[in-house]
């Protein structure tokens, strides 16, 4: 039987399931006798201490295997264990209402989670997930449960669970856990992102997969298609063994392209770059053959902490990326793009009805000049260590670009006065992600050194369809003729002024989009590091000359469906 879900991490695994249902955490609510209270309190405190020790271990393991950023998640969990409001409320309930520790924990957790979740704020909702995770850890300690997830598996297994918290995912034994499937979760959930980093095939959002499988059942997790086969017969297993071999072989073939050029079959050269969120990602980008960084989302340096990163901290991060990439490979660093779905707890901003249309990114930076200047100083100082380029997000008017450049000039002058070195010839470009900017690209191209098209936002603004809203997802279509025509217009405008143009929205890494974008003349494609080699493989089979005609024809088609079908049949199926 086949069940569909969301492809969270690529790869195929065939193995025996270890199923863990949600209801494993069971206890009875009890009213304590007065003389039991002290012992119960001590038992609770012991569980807090044990959880803290466990988290210390997890944090070390994650820092070592994944990096500082991921390790911070567990630091946040530890903070909950030290939080007098949370822990104090549990102890108070236990003492005043004389309930057992499990009940006190669950009731306090529920009220805190309800408060966090009712906040109309992505950051706080994430805190609710953290609070659940840490409470689950406390609960297991109280109940003395050593769950399946941390069991010593004697053979390779496929985990089938309701949900995997980030702690669960981080603690998985990678030698033994070969894949997982979960009832809930989306492609951008923490666990899915970690699964991709750990290269464990995973399918999430399967609603009731824990009901469909028993421990010991044979299961196939296809993280490429987002499918799970439940108790497959021999023929299905054989077909998937072949698919698995083909995938491994394909990965080997792609790996051979690490040092190859990004060039089409007829000799047209483009740049394949990676999008990163922290300096460690740059190492992965190089390993995956990226020829540069097309987008460093610096806001991640500002997130998951209590105050703004200092100039020195930022300088160290930008310098590290520049050095990792070397003198030749370009590193496009985007200035702070906060707002929309990315919030900072310590930046006290007013609530807005439409945060994506609100006070964000360059708008905020032009208003909070000191904040902007600190980042620009760090960027300029780091510019002597590699090939750094600066990029402003969300530019909508020429005036914004000019004002940003004026502030940059002020920072340059300050550095000169202090005899601090920086690269005087550093390129300064802008993201084209606001439709207004796309429409005046000819004017902007006169004053920007390059463009990078941010389709993630551009699509939502052009189509008036929130990029986070599933109900209007049918409108959020990169292949809608309106999007492709705008992209065409932007590329032409840049080239007219002799400027290069890239794309750093997710679209740049899509198999169907690459032939079109290439035909439209895009110069740089920036994507997740793990997509670079696949893209290079495709590129090397494509013919630039004929794609120029194809792309012009595509612009005359009437819908996204028609365009996708055309590219599939006329280009990809013929390779």
Structure tokens at 282: 């740059």
Q: Looking at beta carbons only, is 194 or 504 nearer to ligand PEP?
A: 504
Report the nearest approach of Mg ion to the CB of residue 431 (Å): 6
- List 190, 229, 365, 480, catalytic entry: 190
Contact letters for Mg ion, residues 416-455 (x by CB under 5 A): -----------------x--------------------x-
Sign of CA dihedral 412, 418, 422, 424: positive
Check: CB of residue 377 under 8 Å from CB of residue 415: yes
Q: Is residue 504 near ligand PEP by the rule CB under 6 A?
A: yes
Q: Which stretch binds ligand PEP (CB under 6 A): 86-94, 196-204, 411-419, 448-456?
A: 448-456
Q: Is residue 455 near ligand PEP by the rule CB under 6 A?
A: yes
Q: Looking at beta carbons only, is 10 or 454 nearer to ligand PEP?
A: 454
| CA Rg value for the chain | 26
Query: Which residue pairs, CB below 8 angstroms and at least 24 apart, start in 474-481?
Result: 477/560, 478/505, 478/506, 478/507, 478/510, 478/513, 478/560, 479/512, 479/513, 479/560, 479/563, 479/564, 480/559, 480/560, 481/555, 481/557, 481/558, 481/559, 481/560, 481/563
Structure-token match 């750990």, residue found? 198
Check: CB of residue 454 under 8 Å from CB of residue 432: yes
Q: Which stretch binds Mg ion (CB under 5 A): 84-92, 308-316, 456-464, 548-556?
A: 456-464
98: left (phi over 0), alpha (psi -120 to 50) or beta: left
Q: Is residue 355 near Mg ion by the rule CB under 5 A?
A: no
Q: Is residue 297 near ligand PEP by the rule CB under 6 A?
A: yes
Q: How many residues of this chain interact with ligand PEP, rule: CB under 6 A?
A: 10
Structure tokens at 573: 């199926």
Q: Is residue 59 near ligand PEP by the rule CB under 6 A?
A: no
Rounded-to-integer distance, Cα 171 and Cα 544, Å: 46
504 is catalytic: yes
Q: Looking at beta carbons only, is 134 or 490 nearer to ligand PEP?
A: 490
Residues in contact with 217: Cβ distance below 8 Å, sequence separation at least 6, in sequence order? 16, 17, 19, 230, 231
> Does 467 appear as a known binding residue?
yes
96 is catalytic: no
| Minimal CB distance residue for Mg ion | 457
Backbone angles phi, psi at 549, to 5 degrees: -70, -45
Q: Is residue 457 near Mg ion by the rule CB under 5 A?
A: yes
Q: Which of ligand PEP, Mg ion, none binds 227 (CB below 5-8 Å, type-dependent)?
A: none
Contact letters for Mg ion, residues 283-322 (x by CB under 5 A): ----------------------------------------
The catalytic site residues sit at 190, 504
- Applying CB under 5 A, the residues found at the interface with Mg ion are 433, 454, 457
**Which residues participate in the annotated binding site?**
297, 334, 433, 456-457, 467
């Amino acid at each position: 039987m086949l069940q569909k879900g969301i492809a969270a991490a690529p790869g195929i695994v065939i193995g025996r399931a270890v199923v863990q249902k949600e209801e494993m955490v069971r206890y009875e609510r009890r009213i304590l006798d007065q003389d039991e209270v002290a012992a119960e309190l001590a038992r609770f405190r012991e569980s807090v201490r044990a959880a803290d020790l466990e988290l210390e271990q997890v944090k070390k393991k994650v820092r070592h295997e994944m990096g500082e950023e991921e390790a911070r998640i567990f630091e946040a969990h530890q903070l909950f264990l030290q939080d007098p409001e949370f822990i104090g409320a549990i102890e108070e309930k236990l003492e005043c209402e004389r309930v057992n520790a499990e009940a006190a924990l669950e009731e306090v957790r529920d009220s805190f989670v309800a408060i966090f979740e009712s906040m109309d704020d992505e950051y706080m909702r994430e805190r609710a997930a953290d609070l659940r995770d840490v409470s689950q850890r406390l609960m297991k300690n109280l109940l003395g449960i050593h769950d399946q997830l941390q069991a010593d598996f004697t053979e390779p297994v496929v985990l089938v669970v309701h949900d995997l918290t980030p702690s669960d995912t981080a603690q998985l034994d990678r030698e033994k856990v070969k894949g997982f499937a979960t009832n809930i979760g989306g492609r951008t959930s923490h666990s899915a992102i970690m699964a991709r980093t750990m290269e464990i095939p995973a399918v999430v959002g399967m609603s009731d997969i824990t009901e469909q499988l028993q421990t010991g059942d044979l299961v196939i997790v296809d993280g490429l298609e987002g499918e799970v086969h439940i108790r497959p017969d021999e023929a299905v297993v054989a077909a998937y063994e072949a698919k698995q071999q083909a995938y491994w072989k394909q990965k080997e073939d792609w790996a051979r392209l690490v040092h190859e050029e990004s060039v089409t079959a007829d000799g047209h050269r483009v740049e394949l770059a990676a999008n990163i969120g922290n300096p460690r990602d740059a190492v992965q980008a190089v390993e995956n053959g990226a020829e540069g960084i097309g987008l460093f989302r610096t806001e991640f340096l500002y997130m998951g902490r209590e105050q703004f990163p200092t100039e020195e901290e930022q300088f160290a991060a930008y310098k590290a990326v520049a050095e990792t990439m070397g003198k030749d490979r370009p590193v496009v660093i985007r200035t702070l793009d906060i707002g929309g779905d990315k919030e900072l707890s310590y930046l006290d901003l007013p609530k807005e009805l439409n945060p994506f249309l609100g006070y964000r990114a360059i708008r905020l930076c032009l208003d909070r000049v000191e904040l902007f200047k600190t980042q620009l100083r760090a960027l300029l100082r780091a510019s002597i260590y590699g090939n750094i380029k600066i990029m402003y997000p969300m530019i909508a008017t020429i005036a914004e670009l000019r004002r940003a450049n004026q502030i940059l000039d002020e920072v340059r002058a300050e550095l000169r006065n202090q005899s601090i070195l920086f690269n005087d010839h550093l390129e300064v470009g802008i993201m084209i992600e606001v439709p207004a900017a796309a429409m005046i690209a000819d004017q902007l191209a006169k004053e920007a050194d390059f463009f990078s098209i941010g389709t993630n936002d551009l699509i939502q603004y052009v189509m008036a369809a929130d990029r986070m809203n599933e109900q209007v997802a049918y409108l959020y279509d990169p292949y809608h003729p309106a999007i492709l025509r705008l992209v065409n217009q932007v590329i032409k405008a840049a080239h007219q002024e002799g400027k290069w143009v890239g794309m750093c929205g997710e679209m740049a890494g899509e198999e169907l989009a690459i032939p079109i974008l290439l035909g439209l003349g895009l110069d740089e494609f920036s994507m997740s590091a793990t997509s670079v080699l696949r893209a290079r493989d495709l590129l090397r089979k494509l013919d630039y000359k004929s794609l120029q005609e194809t792309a012009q024809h595509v612009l005359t088609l009437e819908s996204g469906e028609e365009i996708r079908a055309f590219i599939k049949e006329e280009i990809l199926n013929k390779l």
